[in-house]
Amino acid sequence: RGSVEQGYILMVPLIAAYLVFVRRSRLRGDRGRWGAFIGPLIVCASFGAAIVGHDRDVLALWHAAPVIAFVGLVVATVGLRRTTLILPGLFILFAVIPLPGVVRHYLAQPLQGFATSVTAFMLELFGVPAIKTGNLIEINGFPVAVGEACNGMRLVMPLAIVMYAFVFSLPLRTGTRMLLLVLCLPVALLCNVIRLVPTALAYGYFPSQAEMVHEIGGWVMIPLAIGILVG
């Protein structure tokens, strides 16, 4: 389950390279290497992070160590000032660090309950008899489970990363950028409910077509969420 939810990590290097590419013109006007001596210090700090993460069994810190080392190498090569010019492209690299299991579990449980409650409410709003029991919704006598895979967690991180690339590739105000990034969570939850309503109806009334509806909904969620945020 974790490997599926963390598939967005494959996008991170491409987005980082893209954000550095769109800022290449800023690097041409700055030839100095001021602050390059800080690079080796950052690399040394990465070794400390790796040791502490390994000894204390803090996997997030251990996974962060290579990213910190890479940032240190960039600073040592181009200098601190030029590094700040491409900082968005470097900062996104920390998204390759898998979300700790404790944090994922802490977020998944309330999101799962929220998705179940809102989906049941929407079904009743449209006149569909739906009985909610825990994370189960009974429709037409069929129990439909809103599992952990359908709580919206899989959509939040990919959407946030795509939106991060969008806001930092355009000359937007800082407030606009922050607003769009903050809205990723509620928009992801909204799109997840939009997906769950027809999926629950399909399982209740057209079980033979339910898997297809579920899969199509999964593919539609990302472009739908991006369209809402861009709009």
Q: pLDDT tens, 43-69?
A: 999 999 999 998 888 888 999 999 999
Q: For residue 3, which amino acid is it?
A: S
Closest CA to 67 of 97, 105, 24: 97
Check whether 206 has a pLDDT greater than 70. Answer: yes
> For the whole model, what pTM was predicted?
0.76
Q: Give the pLDDT confidence score for residue 73 in this predicted structure.
A: 95
Q: Give the pLDDT confidence score for residue 48 in this predicted structure.
A: 94
Per the CB < 8 A criterion, the answer to whether 67 and 89 are in contact is no
Task: Show the beta-strand stretches assigned E in the chain.
Answer: 130-133, 136-139, 142-145
Span 154-178, mean pLDDT? 86
Measure the CA–CA gap between 91 and 119, rounded to whole angstroms: 36
Question: Which distant-in-sequence residues (6+ apart) come within 8 Å of 80 by Cβ?
Answer: 34, 35, 36, 38
Measure the CA–CA gap between 120 and 131, rounded to whole angstroms: 7
Check whether 4 has a pLDDT greater than 60. Answer: no
Per the CB < 8 A criterion, the answer to whether 112 and 148 are in contact is yes
Q: Name the least confident of 106-115, 136-145, 173-182, 200-209.
A: 106-115
Closest CA to 67 of 39, 96, 38, 37: 96
Span 90-100, mean pLDDT? 88
The tokens for 56 are 């204390």
Residue with tokens 């950052």: 42
Query: Of residues 220 and 109, which shows the higher confidence score?
Result: 220
pLDDT band at 1 (very low <50, low <70, confident <90, very high): very low
